[in-house]
Amino acid sequence: MSSRSSGLSVRELGEFRLIQDLQRRFGQTERSVLRGIGDDAAVVRLPAGHRLLLTTDLLAEGIHFDLTTATYEDLG
């Protein structure tokens, strides 16, 4: 995948530059989104005063861990 704005690949951009590019491109359009795209989490307003925390993350073998030294339990 490459970034249209810079012509760089995601690997060349890095995680935080990719997040910045996505924020600039899409912004925060939903009123229910209290805290949007950031470092792996967002907060969404639900009915009756409730909040929902959405989170995601990616671990890539060879970049974030090595299966010769880490177990699946280590990875969470």
Q: Is residue 26 part of a domain?
A: yes
Number of domains in the chain: 1
pLDDT band at 69 (very low <50, low <70, confident <90, very high): very high
The model carries a pTM of 0.47
Please give the residue range of the domain that contains residue 55.
Answer: 10-70
Helices (H), 1-76: 10-13, 15-26, 72-75
Q: pLDDT tens for residues 45-54?
A: 899 999 998 8
Single out the residue of 13, 64, 16, 22 nearest to residue 39, CA to CA.
16
Which H or E run contains 52? strand 51-55
CA distances from 62 to 12, 30, 46, 55, 72 (A): 16, 37, 39, 23, 14
In a domain, 4, yes or no: no
Candidates 22, 14, 15; CA nearest to 5 is 22
